[in-house]
Chains A and B, each alone.
Chain A
Amino acid sequence: MKKYVEDLDFRGEEHISEWTPWSPQDIRRKKCALEAARLMMNSALTAPCSGAAPQIEGHIVYGQEELEAIARKIEEIAHKNPNWKEPFLYEAVMARDSDVILFIGNTRCHQTPLDGGCGLCGGTLDCGYFYNKKKHKLGLVDNTDRSSTRMIDGPLCTSRVNDLGFAVASALWTARTVLVDSRPFASMGIAGQKLGYCPNSGMVVGVPVATKSKNAYVDVNVDYHLINMERALDNARKIYQTTRIIRGFDYRKWIPKPK
């Protein structure tokens, strides 16, 4: 009965806008993006995979501090590899510009391989390439030593990695279907994994979601880490304020008019 009364009272209004950032109307917008990310995660879980083995986990992350932490981790990683530096710095900006970041990981690729002898990892007719490079007993992989300095502690079962690809792609298809902006990122995946997201996974891909007027993940300019909306706005605040203080007048008594 109570539910029926509540249903009769189904009314309300929600102002939604991307401006100003982190305002109530912007947070409502972000919540819509969060719903899309949740649907995307569903799609990741129902994607095809080898042997139908459960192996996909996800982490949905949102909030100003959380996204900032991810962006800073990407920046930290960017400076560790000259080949990553510029693209990863650009992608850190994209992480900040996101509403939600969905991390999708594979929980088996480093630990419980397909054991199918498919040869995808090392090109051999058995799983020797994987097991010979891993600590294991009777094929049971010992991953308790987490001191590897590599970005990803390989080798991985590439068949399982492919299953991760299926999951990520299904999530992206749903993003396209519900018309939210999204793209897959290695930088966000590696950073997310280092921060402890998808804690049981051997490989993680970051799939950010944004619902802004301009797609956050395409059409960037050069030096995007230095010239972007956040920086441009901050610069506007800096320049405009200074412009005001150097030419003040008493508007109550006189306002200059065009001649």
Chain B
Amino acid sequence: MGHLFGKDYSMDHLLEVAKSIALAVHKTPQITGKTHIETEIIWGDELDPILAVMEPMALMFRFVHWDYETIKTCRERGESPVIVAIGGKADRSDLAYNCGACGFDTCKEFNAYAKDQGSGGGQLGGPSCNWKSLEYSMAADWACTAAWHANVENRIMTSLGIALNMLGYMPDCNSKLGLVLGPPREMVYYSRDDVRKIMSYELDKLDMIRCIPWQFEGFPGGGNPMYKIKDDWWAPPDFMNVGYSEMAMDGMQKILFEIVPEIVDKYSGAVAERYQKAQKTKKK
């Protein structure tokens, strides 16, 4: 006998779906059969450090902004999503393909560069052997497809990957992505309804002007075209100005190298401790 109500059991079941997705990730076919793949399932309060890292980055990157707002809003509404974290180790090559895809003639040269450069560089954790990175992304794709087949609202997010990387999740991996699952309704992560409070006509228009300027370009014959960014665009006209932006670069510097590291410092110890504990248990 029993009676399950509404969305409560759906939210609980997300975890079970996440486990099935993790199984699919590890079942993904590989070309080399040598790429190390990991999965972790993160939910509840464990999302808070991830959101804390995403918050300042949202000021810098629009794609992080949208992801952050959506996950945060769901969480605040009591529909906290579940994240399947997918990691891969692609920063060394044991393939000896010497194929040149990485830009070096041999895997040995690539490995020497990677050792010198250090792992987990950049936002997404390069350098990478392209065959291994390809296999890692295949695993990430199977995670998405498994979620799709389970009819669970989902989206794979680079923004989550960056946050996982910064906080030190999956320390044996250099490439990381996060697949966010639930809540159980449509259009949470595509045509997002929850970004209404941060979205405005003006902001969208500004993005359009910055990202696809040719859409607004006037007659180019004079060599310095006017831009039609208001109804009476000719009076007075606007012109494109391309140059170094101290404001943008200073902002990025401050966020990436001051604000985010402070947040990471606050949480990364606890994350690392968890892996150390797991390691000890494994040894026993």
Q: What is A's interface to B at a CB cutoff of 8 Å?
A: 47-48, 50, 81, 83-84, 116-125, 129-130, 133, 148, 150-156, 158-159, 161-170, 172-173, 183-186, 190, 203, 205
B175 to chain A, nearest CB (A): 7
Q: Can you show 30 pairs from A to B with CB atoms below 8 A apart? A: A48-B141, A50-B158, A81-B96, A118-B158, A119-B124, A120-B122, A120-B127, A122-B103, A122-B126, A123-B117, A123-B122, A123-B126, A124-B117, A124-B126, A125-B121, A129-B127, A151-B97, A152-B130, A161-B101, A161-B128, A163-B137, A165-B133, A168-B138, A168-B141, A169-B138, A169-B139, A169-B141, A173-B141, A186-B131, A205-B31
Q: Are A124 and B99 in contact (CB under 8 A)?
A: no
Q: Cβ of B140 < 8 Å from any Cβ of A?
A: yes
Number of interface residues of B (CB under 8 A): 48
A212 to chain B, nearest CB (A): 18
Q: Are A117 and B121 in contact (CB under 8 A)?
A: no
> Hey, which chain A residues are within 8 Å of B251, CB to CB?
none
Give the contacts of B30-49 with A (CB-CB under 8 A): 30-32
Q: Cβ of B95 < 8 Å from any Cβ of A?
A: yes
Q: Cβ of B134 < 8 Å from any Cβ of A?
A: yes
Give the contacts of B93-107 with A (CB-CB under 8 A): 95-105
Q: Are B133 and A158 in contact (CB under 8 A)?
A: yes
B122 to chain A, nearest CB (A): 1
> Hey, which chain B residues are within 8 Å of A163, CB to CB?
137
Q: State A184–B95 Cα separation when bound (angstroms).
A: 16
Assuming A48-B141, A119-B126, is B134 touching A151 (CB within 8 A)?
no
Q: Are A125 and B98 in contact (CB under 8 A)?
A: no
Q: Mark B114-155, 1 if CB is under 8 A from A, else 0.
A: 100111111111111011011111111110110000000000
Q: Please pick, from B95, B125, B145, the residue contacting A169 in the complex, using a CB distance under 8 A.
A: B145
Assuming A119-B126, A123-B119, A205-B134, is B99 touching A48 (CB within 8 A)?
no
Question: Which residue of A has the minimal Cβ distance to B148?
Answer: A173
Assuming A154-B130, A169-B145, is B103 touching A133 (CB within 8 A)?
yes
For chains A and B in complex, what number of residue pairs have CB atoms within 8 angstroms? 168
> Hey, which chain B residues are within 8 Å of A48, CB to CB?
141, 144, 156
> Hey, which chain B residues are within 8 Å of A184, CB to CB?
29-31, 138
Q: Cβ of B111 < 8 Å from any Cβ of A?
A: no
> Hey, which chain B residues are within 8 Å of A133, CB to CB?
103
Q: Are B126 and A154 in contact (CB under 8 A)?
A: no
A219 to chain B, nearest CB (A): 14
Question: Which residue of A has the minimal Cβ distance to B123?
Answer: A118
Q: Are B138 and A148 in contact (CB under 8 A)?
A: no
Which of B95, B119, B141, B158 counts the most chain A CB atoms within 10 A? B141
Q: Are B31 and A125 in contact (CB under 8 A)?
A: no
Binding site secondary structure of chain B: loop
> Hey, which chain A residues are within 8 Å of B10, CB to CB?
none
Q: Please pick, from B31, B114, B122, B138, the residue contacting A185 in the complex, using a CB distance under 8 A.
A: B31
Given contact pairs A83-B98, A123-B122, A184-B31, a sample of 16 additional A-B residue pairs in the complex whose CB atoms are under 8 Å apart: A48-B156, A83-B96, A83-B97, A120-B133, A121-B127, A123-B118, A123-B121, A150-B100, A151-B99, A151-B101, A158-B126, A162-B134, A165-B137, A165-B141, A190-B99, A203-B134
Q: Are B138 and A156 in contact (CB under 8 A)?
A: no
Q: What is B's interface to A at a CB cutoff of 8 Å?
A: 28-32, 91, 95-105, 113-114, 117-128, 130-131, 133-142, 144-145, 156, 158, 175
Which of B31, B98, B113 counts the most chain A CB atoms within 10 A? B31
Q: Are A154 and B102 in contact (CB under 8 A)?
A: yes
Q: Are B138 and A129 in contact (CB under 8 A)?
A: no
> Hey, which chain A residues are within 8 Å of B139, CB to CB?
169
B157 to chain A, nearest CB (A): 10
Q: State A116–B175 Cα separation when bound (angstroms).
A: 16
Q: State A125–B144 Cα separation when bound (angstroms).
A: 27
Q: Please pick, from A158, A166, A203, the residue contacting B138 in the complex, using a CB distance under 8 A.
A: A166
Q: Please pick, from B103, B113, B118, the residue contacting A154 in the complex, using a CB distance under 8 A.
A: B103
Q: Please pick, from A116, A122, A154, A159, the residue contacting B100 in the complex, using a CB distance under 8 A.
A: A154
Q: Are A117 and B102 in contact (CB under 8 A)?
A: no
> Hey, which chain B residues are within 8 Å of A50, CB to CB?
158
Q: Please pick, from B31, B99, B122, the residue contacting A152 in the complex, using a CB distance under 8 A.
A: B99
> Hey, which chain B residues are within 8 Å of A130, CB to CB?
103
Q: Are A166 and B101 in contact (CB under 8 A)?
A: no
> Hey, which chain A residues are within 8 Å of B141, CB to CB?
47-48, 165-170, 173
Q: State A19–B84 Cα separation when bound (angstroms).
A: 45
Which of A130, A151, A168, A173 counts the most chain B CB atoms within 10 A? A173
> Hey, which chain B residues are within 8 Å of A47, CB to CB?
141
Question: Which residue of A has the minimal Cβ distance to B129?
Answer: A158
B111 to chain A, nearest CB (A): 13
Question: Which residue of B has the minimal Cβ distance to A151?
Answer: B99
Q: Are B122 and A156 in contact (CB under 8 A)?
A: no
Question: Which residue of A has the minimal Cβ distance to B135?
Answer: A165
Q: State A161–B100 Cα separation when bound (angstroms).
A: 14
Q: Are B101 and A122 in contact (CB under 8 A)?
A: no
Which of A162, A170, A184 counts the most chain B CB atoms within 10 A? A162
